[in-house]
Amino acid sequence: MGSSKTKTLVSSIQLLQASFFLLLAFTLALHAILSSTSHLNLLHPNLRLVVFSLLWCTLLALLAHLSTRPRPVLLLDYSCFLPDTDRKCSFEVSQYITRRSRRYTQKSEDFMRGIFLKSGLGDETYVPASFFQTDYQPSLRSAFQEAEEGMTLAVEALLAKTDVPASSIDLVIVSCGMFAPAPSLTSLLVHRFAFPDSVATYNLSAMGCSFGVGAVDLAGRILNSSRRVRYALVVVTEGLALNWYFGDNRSMLVTNCIFRAGAAAVLVTNDPAKRCAAKMELVHSLRTHRGADDAAYTAAYQQEDEDGTVGVALKKDLIRVAGEGLYAHVRLLMPKVLPWSQLLQVAMGLWGRKGETTKRAAVPDFTTAFEHICVHTGGKAVIESVGRLMRLEEEVTEPARMCLHRFGNTSSSLVFYELAYFDAKGRVRRGDRMWMLAFGTGFKVCSLVWRALRDSAMDSDNPWKDCIHSYPLKTW
């Protein structure tokens, strides 16, 4: 903390010194100009003083604007964790693990088999190493190993390819929905990479699948207004080892069928000098929270079943809640991103529904606002629901469907695996706009709107590099 205060004090002193000398130079130059201008010499001394004061105040206002204006938020780069091939969990492997555990009734096994077969997941998703052990007793050690492996490998790859030293990281944010140990996961990374003593850390837990997007939004808000923080490292992961459900409640068994291992690390900066090296610039961000509504609050809920076994229950009205949350969220986002033609269409649609008890805006064409959309990869039903509500063509939801097939629902990191799909396909061009949309427990909806600063390209650590030639597939 002392180091942080010293760093801030030095920056403030340097800014004051620069401003003082600039004002002094301007004053002397202005005085010389006014003194040497024949027309101004004819003015009354008091009027000359007024002119001098106005020009001086103009410069002062310009300096104040330059020192307080929002700074750009740039996505320098990102990296997604790709587990070893021996962690792949095909349908046959998942069936074997389920039967070997001897924790489920035959009805529960049949139910999970049906969910898996129509889930949209393929045979190359990943689970933690602990799932392949014969001891099915959840342990803190296995949860730590799962979190540490995914986060550290993603961060190592990210720092290596951006050539940003660990000593330059000013802010670390970790989002993990279901695992919050002590010391925290941010402390794990600070210890592992020897980040400076002045680093600020935020550990976000129980925020659900939306907070990969939400964590970047938080970093962006800090970078947007800070002169001290230059580099923010955002790491998003999930903990499955302690949260696999060993019971027979059907609403809780669904999570076993769709959630898989994954992690991502993202480096964002507000340094304008990095614009040429950055991938994208953050244009808009938005978070909405529907937690005041009872149905939204309990749509995805961690609880004990009838036998006292803890699990996350996905309620039957989750899709309806997601639809209502998406509608409320998009209603706030539309004025910021849609062209006037689409906004006029929405207004005319509302006018045409005047007098109806249930008034919903006409659905605009979101492809007029975005060239690319990262739809929340929560599951087959979620992707279909979003596509139907927003009238998105199959080619728009293709990255989400392929990401679900290849990696499953990796929770808060899912949008970055989707971004990696775009990069692997080389679809993003400089100037393109991209919308990242994610949902989470609570019920929350989060959005990021980016503008590409350069054409996309597949990096050596892209998780799709060995299989992108096989995609897209006809998954459902």
Q: Which fold has domain 74-470?
A: Peroxisomal Thiolase; Chain A, domain 1 (3.40.47)
pLDDT at 31: 58
User: Average pLDDT of 285-302?
Assistant: 91
Catalytic residue, from 376, 403, 446, 462: name it: 376
pLDDT digits (tens, 9 = 90+) for 386-409: 999 889 999 999 999 999 999 999
Whether 446 is a known active-site residue: answer no
pLDDT digits (tens, 9 = 90+) for 330-355: 989 999 998 888 888 777 766 666 55
Q: Are strands 200-205 and 444-452 parallel, antiparallel or unpaired?
A: unpaired
User: Where are the chain's structural domains?
Assistant: 2-68, 74-470
Query: Which ranges of 237-376 would DSSP assign to H, the alpha helix?
Result: 250-258, 294-297, 318-337, 340-352
The strand pairing partners of 205, in sequence order, are 176
Angle formed by the axes of helices 2-36 and 45-68, nearest 10°: 150
Cβ atoms of 213 and 259 closer than 8 Å: no
Q: What is the DSSP string of 93-136?
A: HHHHHHHHHT-S-HHHHHHHHHHHHTS---S--B--GGGGSS--
Name residues whose C-beta falls within 8 Å of residue 137's C-beta, 6 or more positions apart in sequence.
Answer: none
Whether 372 is a known active-site residue: answer yes
Element (H, E) at 40: helix 38-41
pLDDT digits (tens, 9 = 90+) for 163-176: 999 999 999 999 99
Catalytic residue, from 372, 403, 446, 462: name it: 372
Catalytic residue, from 203, 256, 270, 409: name it: 409
User: Average pLDDT of 278-295?
Assistant: 94
Catalytic residue, from 89, 176, 209, 374: name it: 209
Catalytic residue, from 270, 374, 405, 446: name it: 405
pLDDT at 5: 46
Four-residue CA torsion sign, 378, 360, 207, 253: negative
pLDDT at 345: 78
Q: Which residue has the tokens 């750009």?
A: 72
pLDDT digits (tens, 9 = 90+) for 123-157: 999 999 888 887 777 789 999 999 999 999 999 99
User: Average pLDDT of 11-19?
Assistant: 52
State yes or no: pLDDT of 39 exceeds 80: no
pLDDT digits (tens, 9 = 90+) for 361-380: 567 889 999 999 999 988 89
Q: For 259, which DSSP code?
A: B
Output the six-digit token pair for 331: 């209603």
Range with the poorest average pLDDT among 59-63, 82-86, 144-148, 462-466: 59-63
Catalytic residue, from 176, 243, 270, 289: name it: 289
Whether 405 is a known active-site residue: answer yes
Whether 469 is a known active-site residue: answer no
Output the six-digit token pair for 147: 């979190």
pLDDT at 13: 53
pLDDT digits (tens, 9 = 90+) for 411-430: 999 999 999 999 999 999 99
Whether 209 is a known active-site residue: answer yes
